[in-house]
Amino acid sequence: MNKRFRLFFIVIVLFFMNRTTFSQAKYSELAVTGRGNLNLVGTTHKLQKEVFEAFNEMKKEAFKDGISIQIVSAYRSFNRQNEIWDRKYTTYISEGYLPPQAIEKIIEYSTIPGTSRHHWGTDIDIIDSIQKAPNKLLNEENYSIGGSYLNLKIWMDNNAERFGFYLVYDDNPLRNGFKFEPWHYSFMAISKPMLNGFLEIDLYKLILNVNLKGNAFLTKEFLDSYLINNILDINPKLK
């Protein structure tokens, strides 16, 4: 076995060992709901170490093709998601929406605190920092023909999965739940076992015991539907 082949063999073995470790990992309720127990790295935008390293490799490759991938959102704690939820709820109520209508409006794009994939340190929202930033960064039009981030989307469509990142909320017309998010990618090797860990918790009990605006309208029936349509109706490769 020559030196080059031996090195290649070692890399392949380590790769599959890591995949096994990821797939068999167990995550606590605190970890999967954004309330701690995760080892995160990074400065402005934090991720789990393996995700952070994979992202940097992807970023380097994209830069060779004139794309500068920039994260605008990564890990978000339960408290941060709660702030987003409460702000949107208050805004919609002030605009005349009834509580159930306000909640439906929020979950077009935003998750109920404790249920966000961004709690896991595996998911990223991205832009191309080389391009002039539009007024609203995370807008579907920016990733479409004529949009600032079309080249980023094309590059990600062709390359992201090579680095372990998969689009979460695709544009499949049969998909329910959250709207199309061409900016949101997930590191599959870790997010899949974290999703499995999330599915083991009692979601209704969790929501019932947190201080959340509109909490009274998040009934068990509503949450059962939310779980099926919003949490689980995603890119099939991530389940």
Q: Whole-angstrom Cα distance, residue 51 to residue 164?
A: 9
Supply the CATH number for residue 77's domain. Answer: 3.30.1380.10
In sequence order, which residues have a C-beta less than 8 Å from that of residue 146 and are 6 or more positions away? none
Q: How many domains does the chain have?
A: 1
Closest CA to 136 of 149, 124, 146, 145: 149
pLDDT in tens, 7-29: 444 344 344 444 444 544 679 99
The residue range of the domain holding 112 is 27-238
Distance, in Å, from the CA atom of 164 to the CA atom of 188, rounded to the nearest integer, reads 6
Q: Is residue 2 part of a domain?
A: no
Q: Which residue has the tokens 């090797």?
A: 189
Q: Is residue 7 part of a domain?
A: no
Is the residue at 216 inside a domain? Answer: yes
Distance set, CA 171 to CA 95, 114, 115, 177, 239 (Å): 29, 25, 21, 11, 17
In a domain, 20, yes or no: no
Tens-digit pLDDT profile for residues 203-226? 999 999 899 999 999 999 999 999
pLDDT given at position 172: 95
Q: For residue 22, what pLDDT is reported?
A: 52
CA 58 to chain centre: 17
Cα 223 to Cα 29: distance, rounded to the nearest angstrom: 17
Strands 184-187 and 165-167 turn out to be: antiparallel
Q: What is the pLDDT of residue 18?
A: 46
* Contact of 46 with 121, CB cutoff 8 Å: yes
- The answer to whether residue 99 is domain-embedded is yes
Q: Give the position of tokens 């789990």.
A: 48
pLDDT tens per residue, range 58-92: 999 999 999 999 999 999 999 999 999 999 999 99
Q: What is the pLDDT of residues 146-195, one digit of tens each?
A: 999 999 999 999 999 999 999 999 999 999 999 999 999 999 999 999 99
Integer-rounded Cα radius of gyration of the chain: 19
Residue 16 resides in a domain? no
The reply to whether 8 falls in a domain is no
- Report if residue 10 sits inside a domain: no
Q: What is the pLDDT of residue 37?
A: 83
